[in-house]
Structure 1
């Protein structure tokens, strides 16, 4: 099944790349600032959170003793969470979004989640590249430890695309799934240590964070960017296993229901 999907992606790579290019261009067509909006939207959020939370959180972040360092902590969490939110948010509605194309043209439907991931990754590459440049210019680049970001990123993308594929298929048959997940995603953000460290939570709440699969991923990014240290790889093992399981389940669900989806669109 995996080899068949790989062949389909290679065969239809032109379709995938042209779709990514078309979506990127249409997103910023007739816009004076163009791709700058990719940076401005999360930047505005980071500024607001920094202004509101910096004075409160600064003294409570382990090893962080300045508002500037807290901003890096916040960027590391917010920007990477944005990638997860974009993949899952678009992924849960991608089959509905491309309903007309699915009905008219015969192509491997699995290409659609791949298009979502490619688009989200392109947006992420732009803003995270600028964030990296800022770290270098400001003298806060973590050094060789920075490259630990890439295996963490692979784990995050696997988790995101596995979850997005499951949600996308279910949302075709049960439209409430998309509405529910949009609400759940907002709660999920605040239950993840992004604007606060898990250490400041009450003792009876802290164990709940261990059940949040995004928590070790976000904490790994923050450890790399803020502390310049290698992440705790063993802490990422459970979410890695979960990510692989979600991808397998998503592919299995897609394979069984892909024929029925056309009738439901």
Structure 2
């Protein structure tokens, strides 16, 4: 089902699956131009930083947000768009979020391949810590899966939830240290940014991929615990409410 989801998205197009990395590459060029050329933004204002380096740092944060956004934006309509599985077929509905998350993870992996190629081309090598990226992103995947179970169920009963999630993800794009470092904020506001769960994964993935630093183990361990709890709660909510899907649909 994940393979069908990935291939079906580009079925009939001339470029096919090639669009899976042409899209993020195009957005990378647009964002890099706007922020580094128009607004003249720099990640390290005291150092000698090229526009290419800024673009790579920017891209590493965008991938995390895009992955989370694709998962959460599609979650509220998963059951609605597969109503035939609810009404006519004995089907394990709980795998629908897994299929969507797997498809989103494929596109994120393609984007990371582009990023790694860029780092290798422009920097000449890759940091050894890049191998730790799956370990950093694992709690994000687990936590998103829990939220997807919750929103997939909630979307059946409250159709407006998709619009609210869209607004929230747009806000998180600019409330997460993607276009600027967290240290650029005054300390009074910085604490609120660290309450944003995406901040941890954006900064940790950037550390292991771009800066060559090992992840901060204590926050990462806490993220694993929180993600597992969230996944269990989301799954329990989905299983408890699924009995009412057929009546609503």
TM-score, scaled relative to structure 2: 0.92
Counterpart of 1:23 in structure 2 is 5
C-alpha distance in 2 between matches for 1:47 and 1:64: 20
1:28, distance to aligned residue in structure 2 (A): 1.1
C-alpha distance in 2 between matches for 1:234 and 1:177: 33
Counterpart of 1:94 in structure 2 is 78
C-alpha distance in 1 between matches for 2:110 and 2:225: 29
1:254, distance to aligned residue in structure 2 (A): 1.1
Instruction: Tell me the matched-pair count.
Output: 247
Correspondences of 1:113-192 after superposition (within 5 Å): 113-192=97-176
Counterpart of 2:194 in structure 1 is 210
Contact 1:91 1:161 in 2 (8 A): no
For structure 2, the 5+ residue unaligned runs are none
Counterpart of 1:72 in structure 2 is 56
Q: 1:33 aligns with which of 5, 11, 15?
A: 15
Deviates more, 1:193-202 or 1:127-136: 127-136
1:50, distance to aligned residue in structure 2 (A): 0.9
1:120, distance to aligned residue in structure 2 (A): 1.1
1:57, distance to aligned residue in structure 2 (A): 2.6
Contact 2:149 2:234 in 1 (8 A): yes
Query: Within the alignment, does 1:229 sit opposite 2:210 as a pair?
Result: no
Cα pair distance change 1:32/1:252, threshold 3 Å: same
Contact 1:142 1:224 in 2 (8 A): no
C-alpha distance in 2 between matches for 1:190 and 1:112: 29
For structure 1, the 5+ residue unaligned runs are 1-18
Cα pair distance change 1:51/1:105, threshold 3 Å: same
CA RMSD of aligned residues (A): 1.9
Contact 2:85 2:91 in 1 (8 A): no
TM-score, scaled relative to structure 1: 0.86
Deviates more, 1:35-44 or 1:209-218: 35-44
1:118, distance to aligned residue in structure 2 (A): 1.4
